[in-house]
């Protein structure tokens, strides 16, 4: 991690918190219906994301692109009363599966806002690029 972020001069502003994955997995047992047939590695990422949101009590989330797991985290947080602002940013490749951007584009909730026009390659962040963007 240090080598990934050292050029950004942000390490002195970061706090890293250890999470017990088994404990995180236990906290989402009531949310298993939301995950469908997600592979085990995806369930673990979802559990870690939910643990982070719950630990911080976050009710306002800025989401800088992301895949389907972020979508599931957003859905759960919004049910808790959270608000998400999703920036249409690509992850370096064309999304092959629906992403959090696709979800935000379709979502009509006042608790979800999609911000476009910031990434010249934002089309790649959508599995299906919306015609209206």
- Burial category of 4 from C-beta neighbours within 10 Å (exposed 0-12, middle 13-18, buried 19 and up): exposed
Structural domain containing residue 2 = 1-57
Query: What is the tally of structural domains in the chain?
Result: 2
Same domain? For 72 and 48 the reply is: no
Residue found under tokens 């979502």: 107
Q: Are 72 and 34 in contact (CB under 8 A)?
A: yes
Name the token pair of 51: 């643990």
Same domain? For 85 and 132 the reply is: yes
Same domain? For 66 and 85 the reply is: yes
- Could you read off the pLDDT tens digit of each residue along the chain, which spans 133 residues? 777 777 778 778 777 777 888 888 888 888 888 888 889 999 999 999 999 888 888 899 999 999 999 999 999 999 999 999 999 999 999 999 999 999 999 998 999 999 999 999 999 999 987 665 4
């Amino acid at each position: 991690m240090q080598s990934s972020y050292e050029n950004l001069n942000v390490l002195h502003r970061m706090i890293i918190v250890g999470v017990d994955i088994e404990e995180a997995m236990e906290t989402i047992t009531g949310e298993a219906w939301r995950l469908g047939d997600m592979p085990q590695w995806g369930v673990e990422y979802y559990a870690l994301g939910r643990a982070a949101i719950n630990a911080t009590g976050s009710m306002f989330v800025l989401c800088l692109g992301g895949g389907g797991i972020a979508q599931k985290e957003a859905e759960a947080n919004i049910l808790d009363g959270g608000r998400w602002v999703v920036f249409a940013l690509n992850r370096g490749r064309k999304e092959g599966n629906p992403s959090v951007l696709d979800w935000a584009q379709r979502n009509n909730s006042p608790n979800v806002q999609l911000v476009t026009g910031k990434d010249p390659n934002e089309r790649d962040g959508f599995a299906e690029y919306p015609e209206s963007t």
